[in-house]
Amino acid sequence: MNISEVLKILETICPLSLAPFEINGLLTRAEKNNIKKLGFTLGFSEISIKKARAKNIDMLIVHNAPETLLQGDNYFKDIRKLSEKFSLSIYRMHLPLDFVQDGIIDQLCKIMYFKAEPVELRYKEYTIVGGVYVAKERLLLSDVVERVKLLDPNTIRIVRRSERKIEKIAIASGDGCKPEFLLQLRPDVFICGLLNQESIRIANDLGIILIEATSYATENEPLKKFVELKKKLFKNINVHFIDVKNDVTEYNEDKV
């Protein structure tokens, strides 16, 4: 299949219009036009590029990557050169992969057995759908944490000012717990991969419980499930998931 056909499929299953405020698409394009092996991976790194090379991948779809590899630190420029050396085309597919039906956040909810629906939110000057899913269930905090443990995160952090009744649970992957989302949704619990200080301060003021389960746990397995679901659409192409393991661990003085 030629690269133009692959791009058409990618942008059909994950429309770039879902996140018009960011840049997605080809970061590098190798000279070869015929794609026989397609890879998906969570993050843009030297490790992921070398793993793709080991599998003879022709084109790699990366979820977390800079919008351009032409500016900024030499670290990204060096990895770009490595991908060019390996004749590897790199495609950035960030938030559309999170937002789309059957995408990362949808799969994240399913892994935790939450019957959640995407909600409409204001973000910057845009209206987005799918950036956060919301489940309506009456649960104890301990029940919610048990669901989060199904993600098998290396660490779980909880922000909790006081006990409260849990009936509305917001769920986002990665660092999707934005301050403006907390203010718009006012959930009882917000589950995400990565917390930021402003969200923590707002949650404390509003009495919202925050649960951080690491970006890797909230994105990697959901992305893997999405790829498994959609790979049949790339006919006559071998589709691989490149898994670069998370090495974030909880500090334990006895194990150092």
Residues 69 and 160 in one domain: no
107 contacts 222 by C-beta, under 8 angstroms: yes
Q: What is the pLDDT of residues 124-179, one digit of tens each?
A: 899 999 999 999 999 999 999 999 999 999 999 999 866 778 999 999 999 999 99
Residue 84 lies in a domain: yes
* Cβ burial 127-149 (10 Å sphere, 16+ → b, else e): ebebbbbbbeeebebeebbebbe
Contact 113, 146 (CB under 8 A): no
Q: Tens of pLDDT along 75-125?
A: 888 999 999 999 999 999 999 999 999 999 999 999 999 999 999 999 989
Say which DSSP state 79 is in.
H
CATH of the domain at 124: 3.40.1390.30
Expressed as residue numbers, the domain containing 170 is 101-213
Q: What percent of the chain has pLDDT over 70?
A: 95
Whole-structure pTM value: 0.94
Confidence of residue 198 (pLDDT cuts 50, 70, 90): very high
184 and 131 share one domain: yes
Q: Are residues 205 and 227 in the same domain?
A: no
In a domain? residue 86:
yes
Cβ(119)–Cβ(132) under 8 Å? yes
Helix (H) / strand (E) containing 54: helix 46-54
Residue 112 forms part of a structural domain: yes
Residues with Cβ within 8 Å of 230's Cβ and at least 6 positions away in sequence, in order, are 13, 102
Q: What is the DSSP string of 3-15?
A: HHHHHHHHHHHS-
pLDDT of residue 254: 64
Q: Where are the beta strands (DSSP E) in 157-221?
A: 157-159, 166-171, 189-192, 209-212
Amino acid at 256: V
Q: What is the structure's pLDDT at 68?
A: 85
- Position 28 pLDDT exceeds 70: yes
Rounded-to-integer distance, Cα 49 and Cα 146, Å: 35
Domain-embedded: residue 75: yes
In terms of Cβ atoms closer than 10 Å to its own Cβ (0-12, 13-18, 19+), residue 208 is buried
Domain shared by 222 and 192, yes or no: no
DSSP 90-116: EEE--HHHHHSTTSHHHHHHHHTT--E
Residue 57: pLDDT band (50, 70, 90) is: very high
Query: Is the same domain home to 105 and 209?
Result: yes
Domains identified in the chain, total number:
2
